[in-house]
């Protein structure tokens, strides 16, 4: 199946799109990919939706802004897709489906017998109608309803990449987004979990102090010195003693512990928290990996990659996605194209070792176009 995958992360920096021809199993053939920046007006609506989500009591009607945000994010996907197909001389009719993650504005893990909550805003039927294409989205809800964590989901694709690359197992694949997560790919299965913040807290810090969206190449962090007492305070959170599988929301940790620090020391401290929490959870996984591969936007932060290489060197050689021939900026979009194929074939996308669901479970809601729109992005 030839599918275009889409990913918008919690950093709200843009949209990733990638073409993948796959059977949802071992077949992987790669096409065009692109990253498009998020427009300011789109980000503003999604930030407002996220703020409303964080204040939304269980059992109450969803915030009104969700309806607006679903259409805004879908329209952003439409405009990005239009550019993507034109720039790469593609014809949508050559594709079998579109796989869309949607915009996460809330993620709460299950606890004490209470199901979790996860919200990925998108309007799949509208997108299908406008493109004239089958759309697979809402990948996490089935897992939540079955009592799972609904995150991380990319591990099934990380496994496919590792096997296609002929890597010696076990390996650890690290995704550095707003939240960091790891996939442990072993001969006998998969384990996955969120390890702590990646860029999320650092992005909040730099934006609060300077208005910049992120600390380019970790330049600000490199000038500061980490307060390891604060890092220890962060690591005392009960999450770090919980067993995998487990998941986090970008906002499960706050900037309060670093509030008294200056810009540079605060940034260095938050980066140290990312590094130490990642090491902590890799050690707790109880395996000796043959390699640790860094993926996600955080792999572009040169200072953080340097710190990770130094801190994890005794565990395994640290590589970045491109060292493996992988397309680091496209992996998450490829993952949702891959999971769309699996969903269409009824294959599982989450597993007991990745989300804690009791049995392997498929996911992804399929929306068939109700009409071939004359306003199609093709």
Q: Concatenated DSSP letters for 34-66?
A: EEEEPPHHHHHHHHHHHHHHHT--TTSPPPTHH
Same domain, 170 and 145: no
Same domain, 145 and 191: no
Would strands 135-137 and 189-197 be described as parallel, antiparallel, or unpaired? unpaired
Q: Is 16 annotated as a binding residue?
A: yes
DSSP 170: P
Same domain, 119 and 190: no
Q: Is 343 annotated as a binding residue?
A: no
Same domain, 17 and 132: yes
pLDDT by 10s per residue, the chain, length 378: 999 999 999 989 999 999 999 999 999 999 999 999 999 999 999 999 999 999 999 999 999 999 999 999 999 999 999 999 999 999 999 999 999 999 999 999 998 889 999 999 999 999 999 999 999 999 999 999 999 999 999 999 999 999 999 999 999 999 999 999 999 999 999 999 999 999 999 999 999 999 999 999 999 999 999 999 999 999 999 999 999 999 999 899 999 999 999 999 999 999 999 999 999 999 999 999 999 999 999 999 999 999 999 999 999 999 999 999 999 989 999 999 999 999 999 999 999 999 999 999 999 999 999 975 444 444
pLDDT at residue 376 in the model: 46
Burial 144-176 (b: 16+ CB within 10 A, else e): bebbbbbbbbbbbbbbbbbeeeebebbbbbbbb
> Would residue 331 count as lying in a domain?
no
Same domain, 98 and 146: yes
pLDDT at residue 38 in the model: 96
Same domain, 213 and 303: yes
> Would residue 170 count as lying in a domain?
yes
Q: Is 199 annotated as a binding residue?
A: no
Q: Is 287 annotated as a binding residue?
A: no
Determine if the peptide bond prior to 233 is cis (ω within 30°): no
Query: Dihedral of the CA atoms 104, 110, 111, 114 (nearest 10)?
Result: 110
Same domain, 253 and 198: yes
Q: Which CATH number covers residue 307?
A: 3.30.420.40
Q: Is 14 annotated as a binding residue?
A: yes
Helix axes 331-344, 155-164, angle to 10 degrees: 100
Same domain, 28 and 94: yes
pLDDT at residue 378 in the model: 46
Nearest to 268 by CA among 318, 220, 212, 335: 220
pLDDT at residue 112 in the model: 85
Same domain, 71 and 189: no
In DSSP terms, which residues pair with 103 in a beta bridge? 121
Same domain, 88 and 62: yes
> Would residue 330 count as lying in a domain?
no
Domain count, the chain: 2
Q: Is 61 annotated as a binding residue?
A: no
Same domain, 254 and 131: no
> Would residue 211 count as lying in a domain?
yes
Range of the domain at 264: 166-324
Same domain, 268 and 242: yes
């Amino acid at each position: 199946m030839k599918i275009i995958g889409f990913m918008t992360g919690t950093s709200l920096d843009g949209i990733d799109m990638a073409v993948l021809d796959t059977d949802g199993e071992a077949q992987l053939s790669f096409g065009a990919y692109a990253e498009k920046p998020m427009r300011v007006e789109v980000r503003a609506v999604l930030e407002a939706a996220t703020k409303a989500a964080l204040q939304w009591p269980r059992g109450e009607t969803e915030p009104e802004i969700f309806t607006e945000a679903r259409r805004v994010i879908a329209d952003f996907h439409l405009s990005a897709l239009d550019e993507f197909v034109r720039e790469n001389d593609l014809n949508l009719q050559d594709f079998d489906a579109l796989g869309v993650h949607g915009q996460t504005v809330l993620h709460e893990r299950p606890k004490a017998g209470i199901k979790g909550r996860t919200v990925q805003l998108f309007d799949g039927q509208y997108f299908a109608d406008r493109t004239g294409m089958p759309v697979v989205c809402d990948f996490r809800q089935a897992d939540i309803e079955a009592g799972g964590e609904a995150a991380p989901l990319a591990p099934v694709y990380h496994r496919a990449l590792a096997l296609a690359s002929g890597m010696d197992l076990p390996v650890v694949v690290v995704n550095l987004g707003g939240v960091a997560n790891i996939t442990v790919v072993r001969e006998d299965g998969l384990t996955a979990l969120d390890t702590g913040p990646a860029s999320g807290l650092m992005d909040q810090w730099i934006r609060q102090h300077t208005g910049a969206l992120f600390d380019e190449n970790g330049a600000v962090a490199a000038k500061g010195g980490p307060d390891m007492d604060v890092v220890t305070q962060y690591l005392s959170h009960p999450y770090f003693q919980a067993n995998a599988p487990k998941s986090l929301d970008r906002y499960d940790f706050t900037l309060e512990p670093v509030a008294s620090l200056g810009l540079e020391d605060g940034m260095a401290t938050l980066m140290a928290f990312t590094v130490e929490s990642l090491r902590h959870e890799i050690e707790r996984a109880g395996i000796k990996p043959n390699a640790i591969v860094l993926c996600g936007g955080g792999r572009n932060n040169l200072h953080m990659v340097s710190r990770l290489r130094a801190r994890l060197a005794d565990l395994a050689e640290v590589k970045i996605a491109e060292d493996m021939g992988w397309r680091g900026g496209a992996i998450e979009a490829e993952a949702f194209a891959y999971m769309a194929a699996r969903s269409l074939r009824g294959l599982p996308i989450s597993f007991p070792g990745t989300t804690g669901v009791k049995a392997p479970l498929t996911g992804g809601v399929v929306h068939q176009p109700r009409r071939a729109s004359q306003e199609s992005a093709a």
